Amino acid sequence: DWKMQDVLDEEIKTIQSTVGPDEHVICALSGGVDSTVAATLVHKAIGDRLHCVFVDNGLLRYKERERVMTTFESDLHLPVTCVDASEQFLSKLKGVEDPEQKRKIIGREFIAVFDEFAHKLEQKIGKRPEFLVQGTLYPDVIESCPPPGSGRTHSHTIKSHHNVGGLPKDMKLKLIEPLKLLFKDEVRKLGSILNVPDSFLKRHPFPGPGLAVRVLGDVTQGNALEVLRQVDEIFVQAIKDAGLYDKIWQAFAVFLPVQTVGVQGDQRTHSNAVVLRAITSEDGMTADWYYFDHAFLVDVVNKICNNVRGINRVCQDITSKPPATVEWE
């Protein structure tokens, strides 16, 4: 794609002239497309003066940490530190049921972890990092009028969620936002020129607060997170096996803090219920629930009930947005 190749060359030049030869740059990788493409681009421009961090907050999907770290290290050769902060996050979330409170705690802990990463880096390299990379896209920056010279003529507004963003203000970092004139499909093209694996570029969006918004109520209840990971993995893998992954905007499971009666073997059980949700959408602002065929659903429900201990009931969410939101919290 010649146009995106030009965009890439331009961006690299800009970054090289912005970041001085002794200056360092930090970046938080979320495992999503945007931060990955932004970091890969900056890495191409300034090499190992880029320092990335990936935080395991204990709220990631099944094998997510291993999967993204392999992509970062083996495929993209990004300089990345993986911080396991799961205990720190989960201990702060213990007993907290209110969704907004959960989001606030996660945001705060993330900043604390990031701060510590920057501090340790400063000790290691003997100076403060000057810049921060963010994977901000055009729809995130645009309000009503496009930046002059951007060639953009109309506005897209998308509900802004606090993503990995909201970083410490007292760090006085200058921002590098190499994707800020691009739309999502353009970021994917850029990523493919940068050799970001296709499977990665086509990943479904995943919320910053992770599985915390998919375990309703206290995320530390019982083994909810572990059960949810297993159910979610079975569901998403079945979607991939059926060749449906690219037709769906997001697909995931939700853990309900509700026990219902069941019968398994010749025993009565009281176990938890889970919900499967799959939607199609253009931008996440509105969405339709996805219609699976009967055989697919039968197979998925059997796999879940036969393989995941602690679940005896599987429901499907067949509500569009509006009136429902995509996530349950």
| 277 touches 253 (CB < 8 A) | yes
> Closest distance between ligand XMP and the C-beta of residue 254, in Å?
11
Give the C-alpha separation, 222 to 159, whole Å.
33
CA atoms 178, 184, 190, 194: torsion sign? positive
Does 281 show up as a binding residue in the annotation? no
Does 35 show up as a binding residue in the annotation? yes
Q: What are the CA-CA distances from residue 126 to residues 5, 22, 115, 272 (Å)?
A: 36, 11, 16, 52
Q: Which is nearer to ligand XMP, 45 or 68 (CB)?
A: 68
> Closest distance between ligand XMP and the C-beta of residue 86, in Å?
18
Does 32 show up as a binding residue in the annotation? yes
Amino acid found at 223: N
> Closest distance between ligand XMP and the C-beta of residue 69, in Å?
20
Q: Which is nearer to ligand XMP, 50 or 213 (CB)?
A: 213
> Closest distance between ligand XMP and the C-beta of residue 33, in Å?
12
| Interface contacts to ligand XMP, rule CB under 6 A | 103, 161, 163, 205, 207-209, 213, 250, 284, 321, 325-327
Q: Which is nearer to ligand XMP, 178 or 208 (CB)?
A: 208
Does 219 show up as a binding residue in the annotation? no
Does 86 show up as a binding residue in the annotation? no
Q: Which of 30, 56, 41 is nearest to 5 (CA)?
A: 41
Q: Which is nearer to ligand XMP, 181 or 213 (CB)?
A: 213
Please give the torsion angle defined by the CA atoms of residues 30, 39, 286 and 300, in that order, rounded to the nearest 10 degrees.
Answer: -50
The annotated binding site is made up of: 30-36
